Structure formats: structure tokens, C-alpha cells
């Protein structure tokens, strides 16, 4: 089964996470299928950027998000829409 979960990167005491699609049997920092985005809990405010089109694609294929990813997706529903709106307003000026 495929899972959408976070993979820890970053150095000691400075966590940074990539949101990835991986098999549920793979280790946390092991192999993965695709990188969907990233999460930085140390920035002010916390940064969560993810490609919602690819998340929807993998959810349609049967991938299950982890509890942490599910919470982040619910907390930041417009994470992917914000950069698109910024480019749309920037080109309109």
C-alpha cells in the first residue's frame, strides 16, 4: 500500500520534512516514489508547500495520508493556490 507521509531531512535539532509518496513498508527516510512538497516547522510562520494536483492524483490511486500529513493538509488547504494567485496578480500589474 502507498502512503503519503513526511520524510525527515535537515540537520540535528533543525527538522525539515519532505512530503513524499512511499510504500508503507519502507523506512521513514528510505526509498520513495515521488516528492510532493515540503514542510518547515521552524520558520515563522511555519511553511507548508505541496502540489495539491499530485496529492489528489495519489489519493485517487489509493494512497493514504499519514495522520500528520492529513492534519497539515486540513490546516493549509490553500497552500498550493497561494503561489498561483501571486503569479496571476503579479503578471496583471
Task: Tell me if 54 sits within 8 A of 36, measured CB to CB.
Answer: yes
| All structural domains of the chain | 2-92 (3.30.1320.10)
The string of pLDDT tens digits covering residues 28-77 is 888 899 999 999 999 999 999 999 999 999 999 999 999 999 999 999 88
In the chain, the N- to C-terminal Cα span, in Å, equals 47
Res 29: pLDDT: 85
Res 28: pLDDT: 85
Res 79: pLDDT: 42
The string of pLDDT tens digits covering residues 8-18 is 999 999 999 99
pTM: 0.77
Amino acid at each position: 500500500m502507498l502512503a503519503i507521509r513526511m520524510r525527515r531531512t535537515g540537520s540535528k535539532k533543525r527538522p525539515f520534512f519532505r512530503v513524499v509518496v512511499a510504500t508503507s513498508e519502507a523506512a521513514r527516510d528510505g526509498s520513495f516514489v515521488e516528492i510532493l512538497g515540503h514542510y518547515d516547522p521552524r520558520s515563522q510562520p511555519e511553511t507548508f508547500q505541496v502540489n495539491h494536483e499530485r496529492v489528489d492524483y495519489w489519493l485517487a490511486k489509493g494512497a493514504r495520508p499519514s495522520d500528520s500529513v492529513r492534519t497539515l493538509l486540513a490546516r493549509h488547504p490553500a497552500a498550493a493556490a497561494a503561489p498561483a494567485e501571486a503569479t496571476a496578480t503579479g503578471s496583471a500589474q
